[in-house]
Structure 1
């Protein structure tokens, strides 16, 4: 069976993570790392789940995200993600670049900024 393209992997990642974040582990390569550029956070998959849970708790009710757009090449895929919460109803934007090899995410770099959308 052919390996998914980086874009297909990213699309499956978002669908899986939205449904059950823990199940997304299957798309995470061994030794993969998430780098949250703005927060000084770097970690593995378990650290990612803990970081996401803390964010959800800190943002409170109404915390949600959705993908505005994504693109993919031969080795990388990227997404623009809209994030909102009751604490920040104006929302903010997350830009993420994913390094993907053989259908697995190897590295992720996140950058967030306030958004006027």
Structure 2
């Protein structure tokens, strides 16, 4: 359930505004928090955007293991970019205990087949 009764679509839009830094002062930490609120409520693009932030080493709160989790949730929900990113991480071993070529192949193939 969304935190504090926040509408998940509003949370997603606010997160995007914090990430873009045009209408709101850029704040990636707040953006991530709001993407997670929206992602937990089932907003698939929020799952992907949370994962992209968590997989960015320039971001203070980068956490590749959590990124894998969010990419996987988004990919399971049909997000082809998330499937591609997940496949790359499984191929390189980033955010996972060891490289997983068979799972990587499944996700990369699924990403290639899907069109958004």
Q: TM-score when scaled to structure 2? A: 0.26
> Which protein has the bigger helix share?
2
Higher relative contact order (CA 8 A, sep 6+): 1
> Which protein has the bigger strand share?
1
Q: TM-score when scaled to structure 1? A: 0.26
